[in-house]
């Protein structure tokens, strides 16, 4: 019985810790004209980020604001990401992270390049969607796609955090992929998501499928950062197992 109580207490503690680590929030800074730097400290404290990043993963929601012109439309628009860098500044120094994932990629020719290369891409649509997530302080349906940064490890206490984003400038004389995945001068908005909301938004596949132009080519992948089962579920499995074993061992009345 003591063991059962111990597992219950452990499950509760892990659930509370998980709740502390969730800081879903829309980031004040936006990306305009294809590149920019977001100061995460405008919307989250160092302590909040440390709790959130205990999993080593950052989930970002992106709201695309692209012109519905050319191959793009109100139901399907896209951009490609050239590079991204998360810089965590701590009392021990700066820690840089540049590895990121999205659930789609495409072969695209960059402006000035002689051949196409594979880039991570983002899809979206004009207006909001019908999805409803667990986020309480903003409307998840206003966002289109997800970027995942993994293997975030650092030492010391966080005293600053910035996110640099550069979209791909595509070759104007290229093919349909180049025309579709170009970027306009719109403001692309970002938000920090919980793992659950990231999974929900990712699975919505906004702007994909029948909505996307049939003339463009892209690949749909499941990024290695796909949210894993909640720690709460992992914690309560032993509780359920012990309860069932104890029930089976109890004599019938």
Decide which of 184 and 55 is more confident: 55
> Which residues face 123 on adjacent strands?
78
User: Once rounded to an integer, what is the mean pLDDT over residues 52-79?
Assistant: 92
Question: Which tens digits make up the pLDDT trace of 204-247?
Answer: 999 999 999 999 999 998 654 444 444 433 344 344 344 444 54
Q: Mutual orientation of helices 231-249 and 2-21 as an angle, nearest 10°?
A: 160
Task: Identify the pLDDT of residue 223.
Answer: 55
198: three-class secondary structure by DSSP: helix
Q: Does the pLDDT value for residue 56 go beyond 60? A: yes
Q: Does the pLDDT value for residue 118 go beyond 90? A: yes
36: three-class secondary structure by DSSP: strand
Question: Which tens digits make up the pLDDT trace of 150-161?
Answer: 999 999 999 999
Nearest alpha carbon to residue 170 among 105, 108, 83 = 108
Task: Identify the pLDDT of residue 240.
Answer: 38
Q: Does the pLDDT value for residue 134 go beyond 50? A: yes
Q: Does the pLDDT value for residue 120 go beyond 90? A: yes
Name the token pair of 160: 């600053």
Q: Does the pLDDT value for residue 69 go beyond 90? A: no
Nearest alpha carbon to residue 148 among 198, 77, 80, 82 = 198
Q: What is the pTM of this model?
A: 0.79
The overall average pLDDT reported for the chain is 82
């Amino acid at each position: 019985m003591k063991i059962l109580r111990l597992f219950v207490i452990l499950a509760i503690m892990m659930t509370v810790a998980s709740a502390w680590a969730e800081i879903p929030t829309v980031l004040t800074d936006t990306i305009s004209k294809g590149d920019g730097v977001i100061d995460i400290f405008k919307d989250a404290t160092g302590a909040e980020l440390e709790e959130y990043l205990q999993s080593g993963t950052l989930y970002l929601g992106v709201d695309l604001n692209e012109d519905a012109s050319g191959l793009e439309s109100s139901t399907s628009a896209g951009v490609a990401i050239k590079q991204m860098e998360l810089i965590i500044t701590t009392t021990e120094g700066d820690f840089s992270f540049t590895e990121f994932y999205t659930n789609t990629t495409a072969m695209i020719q960059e402006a000035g390049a002689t051949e196409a290369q594979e880039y991570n891409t983002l899809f979206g649509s004009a207006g909001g969607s019908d999805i409803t997530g667990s986020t309480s302080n903003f409307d998840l349906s206003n966002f289109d796609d997800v970027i995942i940064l993994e293997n975030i490890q650092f030492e010391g206490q966080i005293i600053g955090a910035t996110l640099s984003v550069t979209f791909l400038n595509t070759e104007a004389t290229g093919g349909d992929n180049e025309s579709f995945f170009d970027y306009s001068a719109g403001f692309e908005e970002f938000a920090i998501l919980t793992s659950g909301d990231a999974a929900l938004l990712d699975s919505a596949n906004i702007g994909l499928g029948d909505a996307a132009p049939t003339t463009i080519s892209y690949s749909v992948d499941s990024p290695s950062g796909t949210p894993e089962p909640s720690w709460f579920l992992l914690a309560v499995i032993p509780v359920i197992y012990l309860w069932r074993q104890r029930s089976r061992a109890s004599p019938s009345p």
